Structure 1
Amino acid sequence: MRRLLVLGGPAFVGRAVVEAALSRGWAVTTYNWDTPAAYRPGTGTLEQITGDRTRSEDLEALRGRSFDQVVDTWQGPSSAVRASARLLADSVRSYCYVSSLTVYRYPAPPPLTESAPLLATGANAAPGYPERKAASEREVVAAFGERGLLARAGLVVGPWEYVGRLPWWLLRMSEHADVIAPGPAGRQVQYVDARDLAAWTLDAGSAGLGGGYNVVCPPGHATMGRLLEACRAVTGGSATLRWVAEDRLLGRSVRPWTELPLWIPRSPGEADVYDVDVTRVLGAGARFRPLEETVADTWAWLGRSPRHRETLQPRPWLAREDEESVLRAEGAC
């Protein structure tokens, strides 16, 4: 029985990793500061350890333990990754850090490949999420070398997505007749379903792979138009998508990503998280389920329990009154 240690919270990606491993019959140990979580049962075994990994005395609970793989989803200061990676370096075969496409130094020429320069880290680096992820990658490589696997995920969606990007679109279309759709409809969208990310991470770790991999669906897998149409269809099909060109939205001070989730205007000659080369991860066996399946499963999860909607983080998404104002100004309603 393969032994897996999952470091990080049970809310989204960590949950997908645990449930995928349990379904394979693995022996799973989780370590995080939260209360023990309820997971979908499988044929494997589950041990849950509660502790604060930023406290060396708490982390001692893992000393002397051996595992075949570690999957670490930490997004805080890299010192926590340094401590766990050093502690486990001699007792673990593979250490996978779930990283991010934001570790690259932008602007970068498209398509974005694993050879693109990374952000600088260190005392003078900015203390934001991208810098923390980049610094954590370096800690894994320092401790594990070629046994360190870096899964650089882009936009992560699917059931249990507490950030609420895809849920926002689904709920908006279920509640309102006219919904802004940021054009063009053919704009490429690259993302990864958390369950596909989990499956590939476990497979890659089992195969002994190391180094950085861009983990998002390939070009041509999805567009903004297909994604929003899938949301419209699964919520009943009563909403009307009102397409507004991105330059018009920008001119009306609608903020991409933070107000209209999933929307990233294209910058000619510059790569973004929707201009990603995935040759390497496809060669390493990554598989991506159909867009419509991800959308339908996310909608089903939202409707399964009122508590699921309550887990969505409050965000400064576009207010309904502001959306209506833009649509009136554009003559779209």
Structure 2
Amino acid sequence: MRLLILGGTEFVGRAFADEARSRGWEVTVFHRGRHPAPAHVTVLHGDRTAPDGPAALEAGEWDLVVDTWRGAPVHVRRAARLLKERARHYTYVSSRSVYAYPAAPGLDEDGPLEPGDPDSTDTAYAGAKRGGELAALAEFGDRALLARAGLVLGPGENVGRLPWWLNWVARGGDVLAPGPRELPIQYIDARDLAIWCLEAAAEGRSGAYNLVSPRGHATMGELLEACVEATGAGAELRWVEPELLTAAGVEPWTQLPIWIPPGELHSIMHQATVAKAVAAGLTCRPLAETVADTWAWQRELPGRQPAGTEHSPTGITPELAAELLSRGH
């Protein structure tokens, strides 16, 4: 199988490259050269936003294309138009952010969507991802797979949400744990995302699929307990009620990564329906495996922290955490 990845050097794209190589596929990555390419792949360089950026894609044939682009949709359409006669199938890694806000709990793939324009130069995330979907569909039609991922975790995570928690727990002592402990969370390991997408693409699947773990797969308590186990630091989780955190002005998701208190936003983020993907073979590895493997990768990084992106969490300060712990107890 010949696979072209538009991207392929960081986190999700690299997970696709690693998985495809493990299957013995021929892998080509097209990227700007800002990060090292995976081993044993063919490398094409280009900036798809430049006037002559996709020139390296003007020759060659592939069975499958995977596109991880998160920017302006016009660049998805430009690449897809260039490849549609020389590639059998196109997978666009999209997002559950394409659903119109507020998305109802348990929403499936037929829910109302944000407006999008396949020729737009706008980079606002939700509209850009929906526009990217429309761009893929415009050029590949029923040969396009739309992978609507939610929160993505696992080794290589360059956003730094799970790495932030692992570093916090690894320092030991009392750790502020945002409650309730039984709060459900949904996510997908980047490796499971890659496995499912590559198998679905090889089978010729098309259309949209929600891709996160099934409801009931994990809780906030299980996540943080797995961090304690993986780091072996002897940290003590001190659970604090969400009402106290909200009253103190703590920002969910940014100051306490992954955590969103019960309510509308939690329902949107952590109560997706994934029955369609599960019926098509989606399986998710245990949370403890994702956490342990992320810590093993993270320990090899300078300072044990990824370089980060524009979406990286700010994190709560030790001083505020101590104050909230004293109030909570």
Report the TM range for the smaller structure's normalisation: over 0.9
Determine which of 155, 168, 171 is the counterpart of 2:151.
Answer: 155
Counterpart of 1:77 in structure 2 is 72
Alpha-carbon shift at residue 108 of structure 1 (Å): 2.3
Distance in 2, Cα, partners of 1:74 & 1:213: 17
Counterpart of 1:33 in structure 2 is 32
Contact 2:157 2:306 in 1 (8 A): no
Counterpart of 1:235 in structure 2 is 231
Q: Secondary structure at the match of 2:4?
A: strand
- Unaligned runs of 5+ residues in structure 2 are none
Q: Secondary structure at the match of 2:14?
A: helix
Distance in 1, Cα, partners of 2:260 & 2:97: 14
Alpha-carbon shift at residue 107 of structure 1 (Å): 1.2
Determine which of 263, 275, 285 is the counterpart of 1:267.
Answer: 263
Alpha-carbon shift at residue 36 of structure 1 (Å): 6.1
Contact 1:95 1:149 in 2 (8 A): yes
Contact 2:71 2:123 in 1 (8 A): no
Q: Secondary structure at the match of 2:296?
A: helix
Counterpart of 1:254 in structure 2 is 250
Counterpart of 2:300 in structure 1 is 304
- Distance change (3 Å), C-alpha of 1:176 and 1:321: farther
Distance in 2, Cα, partners of 1:50 & 1:124: 24
- Distance change (3 Å), C-alpha of 1:126 and 1:46: closer
Aligned AA (1:258): T
1:328 and 2:326 are equivalent in the alignment:
yes
Distance in 1, Cα, partners of 2:42 & 2:147: 24
Determine which of 91, 114, 120 is the counterpart of 2:115.
Answer: 120
Contact 1:112 1:271 in 2 (8 A): no
Counterpart of 1:16 in structure 2 is 15
Q: What per-residue deviation string (whole Å, max 9, x for no partner) do you get for residues 41-88 of structure 1?
A: 5xxx51011110112423122113211000000011111101001111
Give the TM-score normalised by the residue count of structure 1: 0.93
Contact 1:36 1:48 in 2 (8 A): no
Q: What per-residue deviation string (whole Å, max 9, x for no partner) do you get for residues 170-220 of structure 1?
A: 110011411111111111111000001011111010000000000011111
Q: Secondary structure at the match of 1:271?
A: helix
Q: How many percent of aligned residue pairs carry the same amino acid? A: 46
Counterpart of 1:134 in structure 2 is 130
Alpha-carbon shift at residue 296 of structure 1 (Å): 0.4
Aligned AA (1:68): D
Counterpart of 1:226 in structure 2 is 222
Q: Identify the range of structure 1 (47-56 vs 199-208) with the bigger mean alpha-carbon deviation.
A: 47-56
Q: What per-residue deviation string (whole Å, max 9, x for no partner) do you get for residues 136-182 of structure 1?
A: 01100111111110000000000010111001111100114111111
Counterpart of 1:66 in structure 2 is 61
Aligned AA (1:51): G
What do you get for the CA RMSD once the two structures are aligned?
A: 2.0
Aligned AA (1:133): K
Aligned AA (1:95): Y
Counterpart of 2:41 in structure 1 is 46
- Distance change (3 Å), C-alpha of 1:121 and 1:175: same
- Unaligned runs of 5+ residues in structure 1 are none
Contact 1:107 1:271 in 2 (8 A): no
Aligned AA (1:81): V
Alpha-carbon shift at residue 89 of structure 1 (Å): 1.1
Q: Identify the range of structure 1 (321-330 vs 7-16) with the bigger mean alpha-carbon deviation.
A: 321-330
Q: Identify the range of structure 1 (302-311 vs 286-295) with the bigger mean alpha-carbon deviation.
A: 302-311
Contact 1:125 1:131 in 2 (8 A): no
1:280 and 2:280 are equivalent in the alignment:
no
1:206 and 2:202 are equivalent in the alignment:
yes
- Distance change (3 Å), C-alpha of 1:127 and 1:138: same
Counterpart of 2:2 in structure 1 is 3
Q: Identify the range of structure 1 (115-124 vs 278-287) with the bigger mean alpha-carbon deviation.
A: 115-124
Distance in 2, Cα, partners of 1:268 & 1:153: 19
Q: Secondary structure at the match of 1:219?
A: coil
